[in-house]
């Protein structure tokens, strides 16, 4: 079946009013209609009608979307362009095959054995990793990436992945919530301190924290390339891992993983695999963002977050903002003694990472990010705080390129300052 059939109704909703031009970060960067949501919807409509010939240009046009959901949030007709773009990329992949890069991504995120952090980095961080990998390394041969950029600053990789550090079940007080922690690749391999902070905070609240060992990549990198077979495989494995334990909540500290579990699993995977829908929905309903849950469970940041004076500014990750989680992290941060929050201009604007977008369009991704760095620097804050490890990597890169020393931190790190 043509994947675009899954969004046939949605495609009709777009009346080409152009409102997305005001909100689409890709359009802001390119200033050309094919980059705007409206343009991509138009292309998808024609892809479905099969009245245009496919070539590399079609791929290129469809690749210009960060799946950030900014347009979806603001569209007067509620057109789900993110869902449409995923379907269009799937259709392109079916008709012409996956790109080399996305084949590589799929191979790695699907394979538990390959999923050590070297391979992870090669696939997900692609170009950034390759600066550290010698040109003779087999990794490079395995993942020939023609678009490796040389400028990128890459984060330090953790010595030991988060998932290997803790037992599967960390019991809390009886009667307190049982929480399954969906860790995500970035936290597992790069920002392990975010995982540690999450653990410390929920243990402080007396919760039982369960970290299923056989959890996988959420699959969003595959989804963003149109490799829905891989995403389905991962979703099924994750379902099994997450269902294994009786739990009150499934908690994520990564906005993107949260977005995948909460929104894209039912919306994209469920639509294509109706037999999984009920289970996907059950997982989606239980999925909460860490900051949201901490507030809900009554965390007092005054007890856990006290520390030296620190001026901060907060960046809204797209996949928290579009789920309405903007107030909670700010309120918690402001409650932490010593922390002083100054809002930046355009805190709600996308940082430009966009899953694998930054690999295809590194320069544009940087351009989007440059505006972000400028806004951060204008506040004079010592640290920029956010709720997504993906954004953290992108923000760090941008700030380093701008020659700034601003720290990049996760909300949970600030909230757990006293617990370390």
Partner 1 sequence: MLESRIIDALKEIVGAENVATETQDLLCYSYDATQMEFLPDVVVYPGNTEEISRVLMLANGESIPVFPRGAGSGFSGGSLAKGGGISLVTTRLNRILRIDQENLLAEVEPGVVTEHFQLEVEKLGLFYPPDPASLKFSTLGGNVSENAGGPRAVKYGVTRDFVMGLEVVLPTGEIIRTGGETYKGVVGYDLTRLLVGSEGTLGVVTKIIFKLLPYPEAKKTMLTTFDSIDGAARAVSTIIGNKIIPTTLEFMDYATLQCVDRRFNLGLPVEARAVLLIEVDGDRELIEKQAAKIHEVIKPLGLVEFKVAKDAAESEALWKVRRLVSPSLRDVNPDKYNEDIVVPRSKVPDVIRRIEQIQKKYDIPIVNFGHAGDGNIHVNIMIDKAVPGMEEKAHEAIAEVFRAALDLGGTMSGEHGVGLSKQPFIPLELSPTQIATMQAIKKALDPNNILNPGKMFPVG
Judged by the rule CB under 6 A, the positions of this chain that interact with ligand FAD are 17-18
Nearer to ligand FAD, 73 or 248 (CB): 73
Which option in ligand FAD, partner 1, none does residue 46 bind, with CB closer than 5 to 8 A by kind?
partner 1
**In the complex, what is the shortest distance from the CB of residue 21 to ligand FAD, in angstroms, rounded to a whole number?**
9
Which option in partner 1, ligand FAD, none does residue 237 bind, with CB closer than 5 to 8 A by kind?
none
Nearer to ligand FAD, 24 or 87 (CB): 24
Binding site for partner 1 (CB under 8 A): 12-13, 15-19, 21-22, 31-34, 36, 38-39, 42-43, 46, 52-53, 57-58, 61, 76-78
**In the complex, what is the shortest distance from the CB of residue 345 to partner 1, in angstroms, rounded to a whole number?**
11
- For every residue of 292-327, which 3-state class applies, written as one string? HHHHHCCCCHHHHCCCCCEEEEEECCHHHHCCCCCH
**In the complex, what is the shortest distance from the CB of residue 42 to ligand FAD, in angstroms, rounded to a whole number?**
15
**In the complex, what is the shortest distance from the CB of residue 12 to ligand FAD, in angstroms, rounded to a whole number?**
17
Nearer to partner 1, 23 or 321 (CB): 23
Nearer to partner 1, 32 or 131 (CB): 32
**In the complex, what is the shortest distance from the CB of residue 18 to ligand FAD, in angstroms, rounded to a whole number?**
6
Nearer to partner 1, 17 or 302 (CB): 17
Nearer to partner 1, 19 or 122 (CB): 19
For residue 176, give both structure tokens.
């307190």
Which option in partner 1, ligand FAD, none does residue 13 bind, with CB closer than 5 to 8 A by kind?
partner 1
**In the complex, what is the shortest distance from the CB of residue 371 to partner 1, in angstroms, rounded to a whole number?**
14
Which option in partner 1, ligand FAD, none does residue 78 bind, with CB closer than 5 to 8 A by kind?
partner 1
Which option in partner 1, ligand FAD, none does residue 164 bind, with CB closer than 5 to 8 A by kind?
none
**In the complex, what is the shortest distance from the CB of residue 319 to partner 1, in angstroms, rounded to a whole number?**
23
Which option in ligand FAD, partner 1, none does residue 166 bind, with CB closer than 5 to 8 A by kind?
none
**In the complex, what is the shortest distance from the CB of residue 390 to partner 1, in angstroms, rounded to a whole number?**
28
Residues 419, 306: Cα–Cα separation, whole Å: 9
Which option in ligand FAD, partner 1, none does residue 382 bind, with CB closer than 5 to 8 A by kind?
none
CA dihedral 394, 395, 399, 402 (to 10 degrees): 60
Q: Which of 271, 251, 265 is nearest to 179 (CA)?
A: 251
Nearer to partner 1, 279 or 349 (CB): 349
Which option in ligand FAD, partner 1, none does residue 343 bind, with CB closer than 5 to 8 A by kind?
none
Nearer to partner 1, 61 or 376 (CB): 61
């Amino acid at each position: 079946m043509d994947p675009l059939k899954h969004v046939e109704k949605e495609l009709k909703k777009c009346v080409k009013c152009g409102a997305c031009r005001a909100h689409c970060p890709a359009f802001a960067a390119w200033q050309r209609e094919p980059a705007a949501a409206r343009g991509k919807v138009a292309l998808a409509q024609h892809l479905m009608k099969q009245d245009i010939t496919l070539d590399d240009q079609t791929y290129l046009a469809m690749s210009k979307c960060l799946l950030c959901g900014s347009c979806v949030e603001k569209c007067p007709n509620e057109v789900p362009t993110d869902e449409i773009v995923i379907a269009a990329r799937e259709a392109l992949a079916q008709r012409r095959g996956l790109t080399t890069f996305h084949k590589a991504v799929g191979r790695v995120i699907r394979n538990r054995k390959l999923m050590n952090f070297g391979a992870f980095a090669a696939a997900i961080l692609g170009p950034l990793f390759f600066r550290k990998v010698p040109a003779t390394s087999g990794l490079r041969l395995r993942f020939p990436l023609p678009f490796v950029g040389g400028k990128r600053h890459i984060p330090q990789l953790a010595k030991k992945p988060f998932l290997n550090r803790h037992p599967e079940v960390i019991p809390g007080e009886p009667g307190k919530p049982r929480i399954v922690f969906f860790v995500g690749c970035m936290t597992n391999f790069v920002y392990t301190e975010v995982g540690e902070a999450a653990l410390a905070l929920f243990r402080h609240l007396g919760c039982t924290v369960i970290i299923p060992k056989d959890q996988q990549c959420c699959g969003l990198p595959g989804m963003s390339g149109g490799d829905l077979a891989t995403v389905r495989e991962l979703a099924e494995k994750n379902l099994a891992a997450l269902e294994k334990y009786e739990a009150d909540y499934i908690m994520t500290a990564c906005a993107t993983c949260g977005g995948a579990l909460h929104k894209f699993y039912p919306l994209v995977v469920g639509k294509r695999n109706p037999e999984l829908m009920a289970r996907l929905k059950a997982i989606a309903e239980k999925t909460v963002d860490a900051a949201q849950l901490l507030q809900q469970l009554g965390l007092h940041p005054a007890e856990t977050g006290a520390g030296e004076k620190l001026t901060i500014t907060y960046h809204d990750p797209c996949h928290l903002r579009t789920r309405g989680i903007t107030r909670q992290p700010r309120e918690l941060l402001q409650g932490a003694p010593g922390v002083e929050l100054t809002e930046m201009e355009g805190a709600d604007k996308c940082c430009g990472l966009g899953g694998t977008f930054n690999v295809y369009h590194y320069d544009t991704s940087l351009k989007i990010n440059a505006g972000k760095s400028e806004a951060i620097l204008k506040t004079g804050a010592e640290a920029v705080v956010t709720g997504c490890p993906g954004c953290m990597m992108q923000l760090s890169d941008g700030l380093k390129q701008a020659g700034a020393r601003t720290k990049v931190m996760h909300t949970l790190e600030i909230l757990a300052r006293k617990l370390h």
